[in-house]
Structure formats: structure tokens, C-alpha cells
């Protein structure tokens, strides 16, 4: 078996954000790099928010996934710079968020957020801070459902 | 060990930890659910920032200690936070005003710290600045809403302003570590922040129809480890577990 970046990347596809289990750490932009040098593997990750409690869980899951697949000679490095941004979220990731009921980050601002339930743009911000540090709380004025919006960061 | 660099990191780390702890006291007691969550979210950001800083401080200290030793096993006189952040929560208006006075510093501070010649501090600042911007927006909005709100909300936040005003300036008055940081380029020139911060505060207070207190007396001492009586009580809460069960881990 050849251990290359693609192979590791594929294995890590099963490591998801524990708060949003439909989206992988690659889709989310947390997985920054996979470096392989003389059989030594380095997985580079970056936190979404500095106090994100999911980071420890994510490290553990990377650890378990790689070991389960017989990979032992790796280490996990956390980098802060460049700081994580929602621009790194993949298009696929944004679609998965939406399907899950979370409005994906909207680069044009918070005035035209689409309700993930009914598709209406008639929505209002309820609170800048939602169920986790990375989300705000919105409400749809048409279907009246509250929903999480993944903040543009 | 580079004592000035160590103290410089601690000043900011302690500010973030103590204010984070104070905000955490609101957990389950917020005036409405959304603001309860907002305060604990901000607390989480601040404690996250303090962790990054303590990790670095422990490396600079180079005595084999960890972030936990710095947070849990120092005494009140070792803490370098400003007196503002240890003041009691009071009512929601006082918490908001304390937060606003802090955020109006924290935001430009991190913005300038991004240019630090210390790569590690610059990286921490880059990460934290995005969060601080969000906090400032939240606390400014609430100063406006309370100040320009009902008679009672106006009175309450005006009272908070009178009470906290003399704790506002300490954060922009340089300590020995601040002077060293500015001179060597690893830190921020506080004079450069001062006027920008004063303008922002005046602008928001004015829009919120609040009267800027006339007093010019400023409390100080926090950066040198001289604290108000409140810090001891905060630490008694915060450090209890490590003091009672040394070395305990999750």
C-alpha cells in the first residue's frame, strides 16, 4: 500500500466536526495540509475559533482514524496563521450544511440569508451568537422556523 | 527568561481569562436566552485566547510548566490583568459597559499586534482580532440599546458608566512590559490605540445619549499585581479544583 497524500486525505474524509457531523474537517477548512517526509506524516489543522471545544475531539478522531488504518508514524500540528476563514469551506461543504438545516456563510453579508428550510430570503437575525461560537441564530419570517447561520468569518 | 516578554503575554492572557470567568458567571442567569448564550460564547472566545497566550508564556518561561500551571496555580499578586475586568458583574447594564470598555481596547490592540515582530504573538492576534471585532459589535449595540432605551435602562447604564469610568484608562497606560514591548517591536504602542479608543467610546456613548462622567481619577495597579479585593474571590472559584486536588486532569 502506498501511503501518499491522497490516501491519507481519503481516510480523513470520515473525520467530521463533532458539532456538525455531516461535514468533514476538509470540507470545513480545518484540515490545512498533509505533509509526508521520509515516511513521517504531519497532519496540519487550524482551529475555527480560539475557544472551539471541538478541536480536542477532532484531534482524537484523526488519531483514531489513522491508527485504525495501520498508520502510526504521524503527528498532528496546530497552526494559527493564516487564521481560519469560511472562505476555505468547500462548495460541497456548504451544500451539506444547507441540507443539514444550517444556512452556509454568506460573503455578501447578513441581510440576505436564505432560510435552509423553505428557501425564503425573508429572514431576521435573532442573536449574533448561536448554539456554537461559529453560528448565529436566525428566524425565517415566512415559515417561522428558527435556524442556525454559519457566520462568515 | 525574557521577563518583560513573559509579563507582556501574561497581561493580556490574564485580562482574557478573568473577564472570561466573569462572563461565565452569567451562564444560566442571562436576562434572555440569546444573551445568556452570547455572554458564554464571548467567554469561550476569551478563554480560548488566554489559552493560546498561556501556552506561549509557559514556553517563554521555560521552567517546564504548562498553561494550566499559569492559570490555576498563581496567586492574586502574580496576576497582571487590569482592574476593570475583575469588577463584579452587577446588573446586565454594568456587564455590558465593562465589556464595551474592554472590547474598545481589545479590538485595536489585536489589530496592531498583528504587526508584532514576534511571529507567535502576531499569529495569536490574527486569530483573536476576528473574534474581538464581533465582541465589540455586540457590546456597542447593547450600550446603544440600553442607553437610548427606556428610562430605567438608561439610568442603569448611566450608573454603570459612573461606577466603571475610573477603571477605563488603566488598560491603555503603559507598564514596564508595555514600554519594552513597544521599544523592541514585539508589542503595541498604547499611545497609538489610546486616541482611537477614546474616539470610539465617545462616539458610542454620545449616540447612546449617555453623559461622559467628569471625573479624571484613574485606578491602576493591576498590571503590577495590585488588585481589588474581587480578584481573590474569582481565583478561589477558578482555582478550587487544582488547589484541592493537585494535578487532577479531565
Q: What is the pLDDT of residues B96-122, one digit of tens each?
A: 999 999 999 999 999 999 999 999 999
Written as nine digits, the cell of B193 is 490605540
> Which CATH superfamily includes the segment(s) A5-84?
Fe-S cluster assembly (FSCA) (3.30.300.130)
CB contact under 8 A, B45 and A49: yes
Written as nine digits, the cell of B23 is 462572563
Per-residue pLDDT tens over the stretch B173-229: 999 999 999 999 999 999 999 999 999 999 999 999 999 999 889 999 999 999 999
C-alpha distances in angstroms, B214 versus A8, A63, B77, B165? 64, 59, 31, 9
Distance from CA of B185 to the nearest CA of A (A): 19
Query: Of the candidates A116, A148, A114, A153, which has an alpha carbon nearest to the alpha carbon of residue A131?
Result: A148
Chain B contact probe: residue of A32, A47, A50, A109 with most B CBs at under 10 A: A50
Chain A residues at the B interface, defined by Cβ less than 8 Å, are: 47, 49-53, 79-84, 126-131, 133, 137, 151, 153
Instruction: Give the range with max mean pLDDT: A49-63, A107-121, B77-91.
Output: B77-91
Q: Which residues pair with A20 in a beta bridge?
A: A17
Q: How confident is the model at residue A136 (pLDDT cuts 50, 70, 90)?
A: very high
Q: Across the interface, which of B44, B46, B130 has its CB nearest the CB of A83?
A: B130
Distance from CA of B37 to the nearest CA of A (A): 7
Q: How confident is the model at residue B246 (pLDDT cuts 50, 70, 90)?
A: very high
CB contact under 8 A, A153 and B52: no
Rounded to whole angstroms, how far apart are CA atoms B88 and B231?
A: 10
Rounded to whole angstroms, how far apart are CA atoms B10 and A118?
A: 49
Distance from CA of A114 to the nearest CA of B (A): 21
B-chain residues near A153 (CB < 8 A): 130
Rounded to whole angstroms, how far apart are CA atoms B76 and B233?
A: 10
Written as nine digits, the cell of A26 is 476538509
- What is the average pLDDT across A30-53? 92
The CATH T-level fold of domain B3-244 is: Ferritin (1.20.1260)
pLDDT value of position B101 = 98
Q: How confident is the model at residue A133 (pLDDT cuts 50, 70, 90)?
A: confident
Q: Could you give the ipTM of this predicted complex?
A: 0.85
CA atoms in the 13 A half-sphere facing the CB of B248: 10
Q: How many CB atoms lie within 10 A of CB B225?
A: 18
Q: What is the mean pLDDT of chain B?
A: 97
pLDDT value of position A4 = 87
**pLDDT over 70 at A1, yes or no:** no
pLDDT value of position A19 = 86
Q: Tell me, what DSSP letter sits at residue A105?
A: P
**pLDDT over 70 at A2, yes or no:** no
CA B76 to chain centre: 16
Rounded to whole angstroms, how far apart are CA atoms B98 and B42?
A: 13
| Domain assignments of chain A as residue spans, ordered by start | 5-84, 91-150
Q: Give ∠ CA B213-B216-B218 in degrees, rounded to 5.
A: 110
Rounded to whole angstroms, how far apart are CA atoms A33 and A115?
A: 33
For residue A126, give the chain B residue with the closest CA.
B34
Q: How many CB atoms lie within 10 A of CB B226?
A: 13
CB contact under 8 A, A81 and B126: yes
Render B139-178 in DSSP notation, one character per residue: HHHHHHHHHTS-HHHHHHHHHHHHHHGGGSSGGGS--HHH
Q: Tell me, what DSSP letter sits at residue A85?
A: -
Q: Tell me, what DSSP letter sits at residue A104?
A: P
Distance from CA of B156 to the nearest CA of A (A): 23
Query: Of the candidates B116, B120, B115, B144, which has an alpha carbon nearest to the alpha carbon of residue B210?
Result: B144
Please give the order of strands across the beta sheet that includes A74-78: A31-37, A40-45, A74-78
**pLDDT over 80 at B241, yes or no:** yes
Q: How confident is the model at residue A131 (pLDDT cuts 50, 70, 90)?
A: confident
Say if strands A74-78 and A40-45 run parallel, antiparallel, or are unpaired.
parallel
Amino acid at each position: 500500500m502506498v501511503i501518499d497524500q491522497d490516501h491519507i486525505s481519503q481516510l480523513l474524509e470520515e473525520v467530521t466536526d463533532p458539532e456538525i457531523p455531516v461535514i468533514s474537517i476538509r470540507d470545513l477548512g480545518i484540515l490545512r495540509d498533509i505533509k509526508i517526509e521520509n515516511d513521517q506524516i504531519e497532519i496540519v489543522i487550524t482551529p475555527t475559533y480560539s475557544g472551539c471545544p471541538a478541536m480536542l475531539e477532532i484531534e482524537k478522531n484523526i488519531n483514531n482514524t489513522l491508527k485504525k488504518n495501520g498508520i502510526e508514524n504521524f503527528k498532528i500540528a496546530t497552526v494559527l496563521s493564516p487564521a481560519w476563514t469560511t472562505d476555505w469551506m468547500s462548495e460541497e461543504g456548504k451544500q451539506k450544511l444547507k441540507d443539514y438545516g444550517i444556512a452556509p456563510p454568506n460573503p455578501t453579508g447578513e441581510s440576505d440569508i436564505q432560510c435552509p428550510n423553505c428557501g425564503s430570503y425573508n429572514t431576521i437575525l435573532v442573536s449574533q451568537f448561536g448554539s456554537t461560537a461559529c453560528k448565529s441564530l436566525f428566524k425565517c419570517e415566512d415559515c417561522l422556523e428558527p435556524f442556525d447561520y454559519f457566520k462568515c468569518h | 527568561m525574557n521577563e518583560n516578554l513573559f509579563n507582556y503575554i501574561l497581561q493580556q492572557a490574564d485580562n482574557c481569562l478573568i473577564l472570561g470567568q466573569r462572563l461565565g458567571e452569567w451562564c444560566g442567569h442571562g436576562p434572555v436566552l440569546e444573551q445568556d448564550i452570547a455572554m458564554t460564547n464571548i467567554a469561550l472566545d476569551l478563554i480560548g485566547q488566554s489559552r493560546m497566550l498561556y501556552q506561549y508564556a509557559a514556553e517563554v518561561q521555560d521552567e517546564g510548566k504548562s498553561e494550566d500551571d499559569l492559570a490555576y496555580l498563581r496567586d492574586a499578586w502574580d496576576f497582571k490583568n487590569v482592574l476593570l475586568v475583575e469588577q463584579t458583574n452587577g446588573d446586565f447594564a454594568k456587564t455590558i459597559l465593562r465589556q464595551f470598555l474592554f472590547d474598545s481596547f481589545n479590538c485595536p490592540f489585536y489589530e496592531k499586534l498583528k504587526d508584532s515582530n514576534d511571529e507567535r504573538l502576531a499569529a495569536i492576534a490574527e486569530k483573536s482580532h476576528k473574534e474581538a471585532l464581533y465582541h465589540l459589535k455586540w457590546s456597542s449595540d447593547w450600550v446603544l440599546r440600553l442607553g437610548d432605551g427606556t428610562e430605567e435602562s438608561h439610568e442603569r447604564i448611566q450608573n454603570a458608566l459612573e461606577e466603571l469610568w475610573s477603571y477605563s484608562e488603566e488598560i491603555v497606560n503603559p507598564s514596564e512590559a508595555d514600554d519594552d514591548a513597544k521599544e523592541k517591536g514585539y508589542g503595541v504602542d498604547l499611545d497609538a490605540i489610546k486616541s482611537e479608543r477614546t474616539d470610539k467610546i465617545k462616539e458610542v456613548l454620545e449616540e447612546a445619549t449617555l453623559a461622559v462622567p467628569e471625573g479624571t481619577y484613574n485606578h491602576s495597579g493591576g498590571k503590577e499585581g495590585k488588585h481589588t479585593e474581587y480578584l481573590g474571590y474569582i481565583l478561589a472559584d477558578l482555582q478550587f479544583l487544582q488547589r484541592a486536588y493537585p494535578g487532577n486532569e479531565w
